[in-house]
Amino acid sequence: MLSPAAFDESGFPFGSGERHLNAVPLPRALGVRWEGLRPGPDGEGPVARMRLPCRPALCTPGGALDLRVVAAVLDQSGAPACYAARASTGITATLSLQLDFHAAPEPGRDIVVDARCLATDGASALVAGEARHDGGPVIARLSGRYVVGLGPGRASSSDDPPERRAEQSARHADARAPEAASFAALLALRPQADALVLDFQPWQVGSVALPALHGGVVAAGLMSAAANAVPAEARELSLRQLSLQYLRAAQAETTHFRAACVQAGRRAVHVSAAATQQGGTRHVAAMQALFA
């Protein structure tokens, strides 16, 4: 079996997983910690591991990590998985995600996220990931497709010199999330007519080159709108699965999230949601969610 020492991080931007993670405003703002590369349970790998700390600004009022934050970190996990497998030498961007939720996070406990690149065809990579408490059962699973060698809204990023990447990252070095009593308060979505509105804040950035919103922020907004669209008589149902397609880079500007109930029953509710910018003329992402 391979040991963690058998994997190196030289393929990461800035030369290590920790420096790469700290160069992206959103995971840095959330306090996500890099825990290195390791073998998978079958002895293969490398598996990229990160830790999501449990603190009030990332939690529900009950003190457990908010599933929207878990989704955001699972989205983030695809990039280090691709770098660890040498699937990309440039920037990565999320094309699509499927998340399956198995259990609710427990109050007061961190979550560990593991992700591994399963396959690559030179243009995109397939990533599988899991989120769980230390030594506990799976809370959520990820299956994601990531474009490799391209950044959001860019023709190519593979040839960007390290100096340019460092300069772009330095422009966002002061982006910090404010203190908040819960993740809902931190995200600060506001209702407007039939939408939830996200006013851009620098800590929400994923791509420092454009800049652009992190895919995890877009996912969180869509999940919020989807939950609001569940009929009142079915609110006891929980989010079990979502499928998310990223259509284009979400620019660093105001974003609207809208959702509609497609079909509702006593045991299952299907919801469709969309993220738009520029007065609804720019479609950023689409999501289908199952509550059961």
- Cα 27 to Cα 48: distance, rounded to the nearest angstrom: 15
**pLDDT band with cut points at 50, 70 and 90 for residue 23:** very high
Q: Are residues 221 and 238 in the same domain?
A: yes
Whether 45 and 144 map to the same domain: the answer is yes
In the predicted structure, residue 171 carries a pLDDT above the cut 90: no
Q: Could you give the CA distance from residue 207 to residue 169 in angstroms, rounded to a whole number?
A: 9
Tell me the backbone φ, ψ of residue 281, rounded to 5 degrees: -85, -15
- Assigned domain for 157 exists: no
Does 162 reside within a domain?
Answer: no
* Average pLDDT of the residues of the chain: 92
Q: Do residues 4 and 136 share a domain? A: yes
Half-sphere exposure (Cβ direction) of 236: Cα atoms closer than 13 Å = 4
CATH of residue 52:
3.10.129.10
User: Is the pTM for the entire model greater than 0.85?
Assistant: yes
β-pairing, 111-120 vs 47-52, is: antiparallel
- Are both 5 and 66 inside the same structural domain? yes
Q: Are residues 147 and 262 in the same domain?
A: no
Position 37, amino acid? L
Q: Are residues 244 and 287 in the same domain?
A: yes
Instruction: Give the highest mean pLDDT range of 34-43, 66-75, 117-126, 161-170.
Output: 66-75
Say whether both 202 and 93 belong to one domain. no
**pLDDT of 159 higher than 60:** no
Q: What is the mean pLDDT of residues 145-156?
A: 70
Are residues 146 and 21 part of one domain? Answer: yes
Please give the residue that has the higher pLDDT: either 110 or 89: 110
Does any domain span residue 107? yes
Q: Which pLDDT score, from 0 to 100, does residue 230 have?
A: 98
Q: Is the pLDDT of residue 1 over 60?
A: no
**Does residue 83 or residue 152 have the better pLDDT?**
83
Residue of 259, 275, 249, 278 whose CA lies nearest to 95: 249
- Examine the fold and report which residue of 131, 162, 187 is the final residue of a domain before the chain moves on: 187
Residue 271 CA to its chain's centroid (Å): 20
Residue type, 170: A
Are 90 and 27 in a shared domain? yes
pLDDT at 156: 46
- Tokens at 153, concatenated: 């809204």
CA distance 220 to 223: 5
Residues 132 and 91 in one domain: yes
Domain that residue 50 falls in:
1-152+179-187
Do 89 and 132 lie in one domain? The reply is yes
Instruction: List alpha helices for 120-256, DSSP H.
Output: 162-170, 183-187, 215-229
Over residues 61-80, the mean pLDDT reads 98
Number of domains in the chain: 2
Residues 144, 250 within the same domain: no
